Structure 1
Amino acid sequence: MRTIEAKEITALVRELCMKANYVLPEDIRQSYLDGQEAEQSPLGKTIFGKMIENCDIACKNQVPICQDCGMAVVFVEVGQDVHITGGLLEDAVDEGVRQGYIDGYLRLSVVRDPLDRVNTNDNTPAILYTRIVEGDQIHITIAPKGFGSENMSAMKMFTPAATREDIIDFIVESCDRAGSNPCPPIVIGVGLGGTSDKAAYLAKRALMRPAGQFNENPFYAEMEKEIIERVNALGIGPQGLGGTVTALMAAIEPFPTHIAGLPCVVNIGCHVTRHADGTI
């Protein structure tokens, strides 16, 4: 059994909150370069150039890539041979988010209640997902989620009779309705199966799959390729100003489900689909 102090978790979360907002994952940056080469619109190519310049300036100067520094979505994998001392995991995570957002001069966007709309002034509480895994380490991923893209989420509870084509149509229609709102080019996360809440979780996790990587199952990989092709054919383009590259990638995460249902959730990531991870 390995003992890990809660303050170590806080310190890592603090660091990752700032890193995720300052440094775009290399695979997403590379997708900008690939998108710029594929884009046929001269304006779209220029926009890709500005996106690349923006993320490079943010990294160099350690400033936010986007003014919406998001709500902190935190995925924690806890080894079953770990014992946390000195505080609760949830409290340690929230304290790390508080420190990271305040010390990193990141925009504080969380309100304490969905209706009274009073800002918590420290970007807490975080959205926390935990999983018990093998080993004696704790792995933490911070994925700040801005709400220009989060507001474009969509869910449909299909019947088991739904076809592959029905599901693809729904995903493409959701991206079409989103239009310029999620700051395209977008990353499309899809959760398929489970229950409604499990599908939503899978869709959010799907956004962290490396750009350019398709599902290991050839059936779903072909679906992902078709979704990208059809979304790009919508002509929304970079920043919604027209073009041939609207989606950087699509990732489907399936899960076993009930005989009577087929939940599908679409979670769209903006062109700044951020995450950073670390291990204690």
Structure 2
Amino acid sequence: MDTFEIITKEDVARVVYEAIPRIACELPNDVLAALEAARTAEGDTRGTIVLDHLLQNADIARRDRVPICQDTGTVWVCLEVGPDVAVPGDVFADVDEAVARAYTEARLRKSVVRDALFDRANTGDNTPAFTDIHFVDTPGARVHVLLKGGGSDNASRVVMLTPGSGREGVVREIMECVRAKAANACPPLVIGVGVGSTFDKVASLAKTALLRPVGKRSGDDRIAAFEEELLDMVNATGMGPGALGGKTLALDVHVETAPCHIAALPLAINMGCSAMRRATVELTCEPLAFRAQGGK
């Protein structure tokens, strides 16, 4: 008899419902600490004023239970599942109802339209949520909830480079995107970079990179060194907080890589604004026992 754990759709919906009003009003500890560290390091620049306002805003939002930003975003729910966990096919079935309840009860702005091209009427409840599932080697299961504002997503980019572009071409494209778009994404930023996979998957790599806590480097030493290099280059632009000048345009740069076709070099850059509203919740799964095929 094999024993697994199983995720329930009710547990996933509950996590989403409980997380939304909290993260709409509270910055994660790592982001808040990074803003405070940036404020200390900034010195005598215009960026200091921006960081002071951001920290004051974060304190008011947490204390008064009001949104950190008026753009309370679209809801992205990412479910991470380990090898010891079974997932029912309807695991996201109750998420939209949870999102609708949370946004209505917390009086958060609803920003989703019915169809991007043909019917841009507001859905009225901030649904549908955008969901994803990742199968990982880590035991157990966890739910990531990210509220993603339109300004930061609009500053993002997906590019299919040629393999000959190489590392230099990746860096050049990232920096071009930063110079052209970062000012519109409410810096200081967390920048997620995805390299590899396929056209449809590379953007997911970049967005997943935003889930990593600020200051936590990749477990791959080559990627970790690349992240440090990119962070230094981004901040060396001098654009600074609010793009008004200063040392801290980005709090961090996170990179995720993957295999790809020999003829491809997919690249995605996903900007995360200074209001990085995210939460990760470990799930308590229910035990499930079943007899393996051929067992007695």
- Superposition TM-score, scaled by structure 1 size: 0.92
From the superposition, tell whether residues 4 and 75 of structure 1 become closer, same or farther in structure 2 (CA, over 3 Å). Answer: closer
| Equivalent residues of 1:19, 1:276 under 8 A apart | no
Report the more deviating stretch, 233-242 or 112-121.
233-242
Aligned residues: 278
Give ranges in structure 1 of 5+ residues lacking alignment. Answer: none
**Paired residue for 1:124?**
127
Deviates more, 1:27-36 or 1:88-97: 88-97
Q: 1:155 to 1:4 in 2, by over 3 A?
A: closer
TM superposition score normalised by structure 2: 0.87
Alpha-carbon separation, structure 1, partners of 2:19 and 2:248: 30
Counterpart CA distance in 2 for 1:123 and 1:268 is 21
Give the counterpart of 2:179 among 160, 176, 183.
Answer: 176
For the structure 1 residues 83 and 193, does the alpha-carbon distance in structure 2 shift closer, same or farther, using more than 3 Å as the test? closer
SS in structure 2 at match of 1:166: helix
Are positions 1:152 and 2:155 aligned together?
yes
- The DSSP-based 3-state class of the residue aligned with 1:65 is coil
What does residue range 228-239 of structure 1 map to in structure 2 within 5 Å? 228-239=231-242
Q: What letter corresponds to residue 265 of structure 1 in structure 2?
A: A
Farther off after superposition, 216-225 or 87-96 = 87-96
Alpha-carbon spacing, 1:117–1:275, altered in 2? closer, same or farther (3 Å): same
Q: Tell me the residue number matched to 1:163.
A: 166
SS in 2 for 1:107: coil
Q: Tell me which amino acid in the other structure corresponds to 1:156.
A: V
Change (3 A) 1:136 1:166: closer
Conservation of the 8 A alpha-carbon contact between 1:82 and 1:137: no
Q: Which moved more, 1:40-49 or 1:199-208?
A: 40-49
Alignment of 1:31-180 (within 5 A): 31-78=34-81, 81-82=85-86, 88-115=90-117, 116-132=119-135, 138-180=141-183
| d(CA) in 2 for partners of 1:201, 1:127 | 12
Distance 1:223 1:3, change over 3 A: closer
- Bigger Cα Rg: 2
Output the CA distance in 2 between the equivalents of 1:131 and 1:234: 35
Q: Secondary structure at the match of 1:89?
A: coil
SS at match of 1:7: helix
- What secondary structure, in the 3-state scheme, does the structure 2 residue paired with 1:277 have? strand
RMSD: 2.0
CA contact (8 A) 2:144 2:211 kept: no
State the distance in 1 between where 2:113 and 2:164 align: 41
**Contact 1:36–1:48 under 8 Å retained in 2:** yes
**2:155/2:182 contact within 8 Å kept:** no
Identify the match of residue 202 of structure 2 among 192, 199, 203. 199
Which residue, 255, 258, 267 being the options, matches 1:255? Answer: 258
Q: For structure 2, list consecutive stretches of 5 or more residues without a partner in the other structure.
A: 285-296
Conserved 8 A contact 1:195-1:263: yes
- CA–CA distance in structure 1, aligned partners of residues 134 and 192 of structure 2: 20
Distance in 1, matches of 2:147 and 2:67, equals 11
Q: Distance in 2 between matches of 1:207 and 1:32?
A: 16
Tell me which amino acid in the other structure corresponds to 2:144: T
Q: Which moved more, 1:71-80 or 1:23-32?
A: 71-80
Partners of 1:210 and 1:130 lie apart in 2 by 19
Is the 8 Å Cα contact of residues 80 and 135 (structure 2) preserved in structure 1?
A: yes
Q: Deviations over 1:174-219 (max 9, x none)?
A: 0110142000111110000010121100000001111112222222
Q: Percent identity?
A: 39
Which one is further off, 198-207 or 2-11? 2-11
